[in-house]
Structure 1
Amino acid sequence: MITPPWFRWVRRAGLAVLAAAVLLPLYVMAVSSVKPLGDVEGPFTWWPSHLTLRPYADMWRTVPLADYFVNSLVVSVCAAAASVVVALFAAYGVSRYRFAGRRTFLGTMLFTQILPGILFLLPLYLIYINIYRRFGLQLFATRTGLVVTYLTFSLPFAVWLLAGYLDSIPRELDEAAMVDGAGPLGVLLRVIVPVAAPGLATVSVYTFMTAWGEVLFASVLTDDHTRTLAVGLRAYAGQSDVFWNQVMAASLLVSAPVVIGFLALQRFLAQGLTAGAVQ
């Protein structure tokens, strides 16, 4: 089928508008991050009159950004790793075994994603407080508690996505491995995991991105010592002034790990999402 010229031009124009909508805010952030504070607070200019990298140095001293960065990194990596491991075993059971309520279970997993997160905030807060009072286990204002919190809304999607991906893997591979003497765990680790690498990459990146940029739960369930980057950026706003150039510089720093991870695993993400959508 030959595409008419007018359609190609419309498509190019639409892509140009979308590209501008994405790249223009990034350009404004980058330009503002290399301006003195007075220039940022004044009328906007497309190019800095005084180019400076001082905001990138000052942003580490104005707030404990390094501590926030470590907290976000630890929480996001642990949440991604735990989500992949738990979702892998759950999805393997759903994909390879038939049991009553299987479709209902998968539908419930997907249904939880449409519920707003604020519905779970107060219950989780009360649960953590009561766990500490009864068992002495501190989950509130800790990295562990934040990891557990992120698993509550990342695991359902991870299980649903991985179950669909594992369904696309031929069962003949399982049977061949069992003929060679492998048990269910051996089949999972030695056969399924290598083939399901794109799906596992998709789950890990999704969970990492969700934990890295989450604000609502992190703003309530953390304190000064466990605060993450997404919440810590508010500290650049003082009582009398806002360090906008440092905010822009820190925002670019916050975005870098997610962008790098997404670009590095882009090929696997496309395969994982395509296979999961088939389900």
Structure 2
Amino acid sequence: MLETRGFRILRAFGLTFLSAVVLLPLYVIFVTSVKPLSDVRGLFTWWPSDFTIQPYVDIWTTVPLADYFVNSVIVVVTATAFSVVLAIMAAYALSRFEFRGARTFSLVVLSTQMFPGILFLLPLFLIFTQIQRSIGLQLNGSYLGLILTYMTFSLPFAIWMLAGFFASIPKALEEAAMIDGLGRIGALIKVVLPVARPGIIAVAVYSFITAWGEVLFASVMTNAETRTLAIGLRSYASQTDVYWNQLMAASVVVSLPVLIGFILVQKHLVAGLSAGSVK
């Protein structure tokens, strides 16, 4: 059915309104980040009367933002890398081999997405505490503890998505590679993984974004030495004052890695999500 002129106008108005709702907070963040603190404390203006980039300079000295940045990179990159590797192995086994309990395992993996993350906070904390008492391995307040925590949340989705992506790749490709002399592992590395690159990139981006902005578990399972960016942003608010312009500037800086990464892999991300969902 052909679209009427009124419908097109209504759709354009609706999309414009939704875009404004999304972009307006981002605009306020940017404008606040280039204002002196005295302007921020006054009546809000849509453009700074005194444009300055000083807040972007001060954010590195007001709080140890560089240390928080390094902590986040260590934790997030490590958790993402291990999640992708383990998800590839588990998803490939589910999509290529038939074994007892495969369906049950898939349902259990998918069912973990039904529960809110806060439900696992206390159990994980108690498990880490018991591990420390039993074998002396420090997990609470360490990089390793936070890495394992993030992996528990990114792995189920990664396995479920990659299993569907691998299942959409014809087995004949691997069989032809193995006839030519490659083993199962060689066929996986040289044939399947290159074809599955969009799905792998989509999983990596999801895992990275989920861990990069996580606040709840990072606030409980980190200390002053392992604090991540999402928690470090709260340091711009003291008991007596809040450096709003620096807080907004730091928020812009923290968002840049995710924004740049998304732009670079956008094509592969869309392809990977589409393929996994269709299968």
TM-score interval, normalised by the smaller of the two chains: over 0.9
- CA displacement 1:133-170 (0-9 Å, x = unmatched): 21121111111111110000110000000000001101
The percent of aligned pairs where both chains have the same amino acid is 60
- Does structure 1 residue 248 correspond to structure 2 residue 235? no
What letter matches 1:121 in structure 2? L
Mapped to 1, the partners of 2:100 and 2:219 lie a distance apart of 40
Residue in structure 1 matched with residue 125 of structure 2 by the alignment: 125
Matched AA of 1:276: G
Mean alpha-carbon deviation: is it higher for 262-271 or for 208-217?
Answer: 262-271
Partners in 1 of 2:274 and 2:92 — Cα distance? 18
Q: Structure 1 unaligned runs (5+)?
A: none
Please list every run of 5 or more consecutive structure 2 residues that lacks an aligned counterpart in the other structure. Answer: none
Structure 2 counterpart of 1:64, one-letter code:
P
Aligned length: 279
- Cα shift at 1:275: 1.2
1:215 and 2:252 correspond: no
How far does residue 4 in structure 1 lie from its aligned partner after superposition? 1.7
Post-superposition offset of 1:272: 0.8
Counterpart amino acid of 2:251? S
Partner of 1:27: 27
Aligned to 1:43: 43
Provide the residue aligned with 1:206 in structure 2: 206
SS in 1 for 2:222: coil
Q: Distance in 1 between matches of 2:175 and 2:43?
A: 69
- Which residue of 2 is the match for residue 172 of structure 1? 172
* Residue 156 of structure 2 is aligned to residue 156 of structure 1: yes
**Residue type at the aligned position of 2:248:** M
1:273 matched residue in structure 2: 273
Comparing 148-157 with 175-184, greater Cα deviation is found at 175-184
Higher mean Cα deviation, 117-126 or 241-250? 117-126
Deviation at 1:239, TM superposition (A): 0.9
Per-residue CA deviation, residues 162-195 of structure 1 (Å, 9 max, x unaligned), is 0000011011101101111222111111111100
Aligned structure 1 segments of 4 or more residues deviating by more than 4 angstroms: none
Q: Does the alignment pair 1:68 with 2:71?
A: no
Paired with 2:246 and 2:71, the residues of 1 have a C-alpha distance of: 20
Q: How far apart, CA to CA, are the structure 2 residues paired with 1:114 and 1:43? A: 44
**CA deviation after TM superposition for structure 1 residue 111, in Å:** 1.5
Partners in 2 of 1:64 and 1:50 — Cα distance? 27
The one-letter amino acid of 1:257's match is: P
Deviation at 1:100, TM superposition (A): 2.8
Look up the match of 1:78.
Answer: 78
Quote how far apart the aligned CAs of 1:62 are: 0.8
Following the alignment from structure 2 to structure 1, what is the Cα–Cα distance between the partners of residues 191 and 68?
39
TM-score, with structure 1 as normaliser: 0.97
Normalising to structure 2: TM-score of the pair? 0.97
Q: Distance in 1 between matches of 2:235 and 2:180?
A: 59
Query: How far apart, CA to CA, are the structure 1 residues paired with 2:185 and 2:139?
Result: 32
Letter in 2 for 1:237: A
Q: What code does the residue aligned with 1:33 have?
A: S
Query: Whole-Å Cα distance in 1 between the matches of residues 124 and 194 of structure 2?
Result: 36
In 1, the alpha carbon distance for the partners of 2:99 and 2:235 equals: 51
Q: Tell me, what secondary structure is at the counterpart of 2:15?
A: helix
CA distance in 2, matches of 1:203, 1:251: 24
CA RMSD of aligned residues (A): 1.0
Q: Distance in 2 between matches of 1:260 and 1:46?
A: 26
The corresponding residue for 2:134 is 134
Cα distance in structure 2, aligned partners of 1:204 and 1:260: 14
